[in-house]
Structure 1
Amino acid sequence: MIFHYICQGLQPLAQYFTVVTGSKCHRVMDPRYDSALIGILQNEGSLEKYLEVMFGFLMRRTDFFYEHKPGKNLGFPPGHALKMVLKAFDKYDTIFRRYQEEQTKQESSVQEAAAKEPTSSLENTERQTISLDSRPTSKADLNDKTSKSEVKTEKSSSGSYFKKDENGERIYEADPDCYNGARRDLYSWSQKILEIDIHVKIPERIKTARQLNVKINRKHILIAEKGSTEPILDLDLLKEIKTESAQWSFEVDEHLLTLSLDKVDEYWWEAAFVGEEKINVQEIDCSRPIHELDEEAQGKIAQLIFDQEQKRRGLPTTEEQRIQDILKDAWNKDGSPFKGQPFDPSSISVESSSQLPTKKP
């Protein structure tokens, strides 16, 4: 069955994340619910129907689609539910793209090595590269094989780890907890231009969210155990956040409290909290998802993509089609040298949109 084949094909991807994220792997590739989810996918027969099942469940059994009203502990602020969906998509899309980029670089390295040493044995090739099917599971083996593959792993000033290939190009690691941010003793944080997530370590004695007291102000975060005079975290944020859309969740198995915060200003933070060691924002990934851009920018990008696809297929671009529409409208008008002739844009020479069309000799 096609879904069984897909799941088998993704095994190397799971192994990749086991190596890259270590003990954090289950937060990225959690296999506990795979059997149930695969069963739904097989029964529905398509990803589109599978997604309908997921969102149908959220509508029927949760407050996901409810808009929060003052005085009621139900629902989310306007637009926050959609933001959560896009955030989850962006997270795993980013991780997967990084995985693909690293795989492409590794495959290119293998091909280059094979071209330079056509007589080298398969055994030698395996010693020079890290295969997904033979990735080491211990830290010592990982360090040993990484050194043989001549891929250097460094810690940037941002506290996030990245690799450099033999050409000196960066390959960012796939740990979303400190992507564009840093990992500290008590917490880690990641950011995008409009958002910041902070993951705070919670003592193991705390088993439910009801045991926690969380206060989120525009420039201050307080996390404490109820009944305790000693806070778990009590710090000033580096910049202001929007309290009306702030959310927090507690993962019992991970002993982590996650704060999801929207920034007041579009600004790359150098730290999550005042007094924290600052990162170098020149070293982070400053790319932005298209849906975060304004409508005008999204429209321009969509037009560029459309025009590129039209050129690839040998069809007119947006500007070329606009000119053709003008020509077609004026073709048979009085004074036109083409009046009475069949419309044929190929007989017209147009060098730019600012020049009048002329008849080809």
Structure 2
Amino acid sequence: MSESRDQSPSAEERRKKDAEDRKREEEEQATLPYKWTQTLTEAEVSVPIPGNLKSRDLIVELKKTHIKVAIKGQDSIIDGDFPHSILVDDSTWTLISGPNNTKDINITLAKAPGSNWWAHIVTSAPKLDTTKITPENSKLSDLDGETRGMVEKMMYDQEMKRQGKPTSDEQKKQDMLSKFMQQHPEMDFSNAKIG
């Protein structure tokens, strides 16, 4: 008789692998000529450049699915396709002076609705594991109508369960049965079960 062993990794092995993956991602991201962060609705890109440059010395092109950032007469700093579309009219860039005679090109990319978390700014860059992203707390007002309705229903149902009351779907079934019973008083509902 052979012994069967669970081949799934232990919690400690998973933690160790996650830490290694995070370290590898951080090292890959550190090699990029820019830094970036994101929320569900925007991606922020910061590109350091020499402090003596002015906006007229730069090329910053933001298209629906492509970005190009360069210093005129030099190779591009960023030139690639986005993993998802952006809203070009809602996306902006500014030049910010930093310490020690440096400047940053700060680019705010408005993500197209439904694009969620991005694994990278341009598809040629190393990917992040988006399943490991811990989002900041967002407000219900930040969500689009359909998503907001779903979240509010889930919150309501969770609260009703906590109180031992029927969820919205269970309440709907009970209301339909009550209405049906009122419309058909001739029927015997003593053994009826709601499932």
TM-score of the aligned structures, taking structure 2 as reference length: 0.58
Superposed CA offset, 1:30-72 (max 9, x none): xxxxxxxxxxxxxxxxxxxxxxxxxxxxxxxxxxxxxxxxxxx
Gaps of at least 5 residues in structure 1 are: 1-152, 161-180, 339-347, 354-361
CA distance in 2, matches of 1:184, 1:233: 12
1:102-121 pair list within 5 angstroms: none
CA distance in 1, matches of 2:124, 2:182: 71
Superposed CA offset, 1:253-294 (max 9, x none): 463222222456837655434654x23536632869675577
CA distance in 2, matches of 1:194, 1:307: 27
Residue 195 and residue 256 in structure 1: after superposition, are their counterparts in 2 closer, same or farther (change >3 A)? same
**Counterpart of 2:35 in structure 1: which amino acid?**
S
1:260-299 pair list within 5 angstroms: 260-262=108-110, 266=115, 269-273=118-122, 275-276=124-125, 278-281=126-129, 284-285=132-133, 295=146, 298-299=148-149
SS in structure 2 at match of 1:158: helix
Aligned: 1:221 with 2:68: yes
Residue 189 and residue 237 in structure 1: after superposition, are their counterparts in 2 closer, same or farther (change >3 A)? farther
**Counterpart of 1:236 in structure 2: which amino acid?**
G
Going by fraction, where is strand more abundant, 1 or 2? 2
CA distance in 2, matches of 1:314, 1:209: 62
- Indicate the percent of aligned positions where both proteins have the same amino acid: 19
Aligned residues: 167
CA distance in 2, matches of 1:275, 1:315: 51
CA distance in 1, matches of 2:117, 2:167: 36
Contact (CA 8 Å) 1:220, 1:235: kept in 2 or not? yes
CA distance in 2, matches of 1:316, 1:271: 43
SS in structure 1 at match of 2:173: helix
SS in structure 2 at match of 1:215: strand
Q: What's the RMSD between the two structures over aligned residues?
A: 4.2
CA distance in 2, matches of 1:274, 1:229: 24
| Other-structure match for 1:245 | 90
How far does residue 191 in structure 1 lie from its aligned partner after superposition? 4.0
How far does residue 231 in structure 1 lie from its aligned partner after superposition? 6.2
**Counterpart of 2:51 in structure 1: which amino acid?**
E
How far does residue 222 in structure 1 lie from its aligned partner after superposition? 2.5
| Other-structure match for 1:258 | 106
Gaps of at least 5 residues in structure 2 are: 1-18
CA distance in 2, matches of 1:214, 1:248: 8
Residue 241 and residue 334 in structure 1: after superposition, are their counterparts in 2 closer, same or farther (change >3 A)? closer
SS in structure 1 at match of 2:171: helix
- Out of 167, 177, 182, the position equivalent to 1:317 is 167
How far does residue 309 in structure 1 lie from its aligned partner after superposition? 0.6
Aligned: 1:236 with 2:80: yes
Q: Which has the higher contact order (CA 8 A, sep 6+)?
A: 2
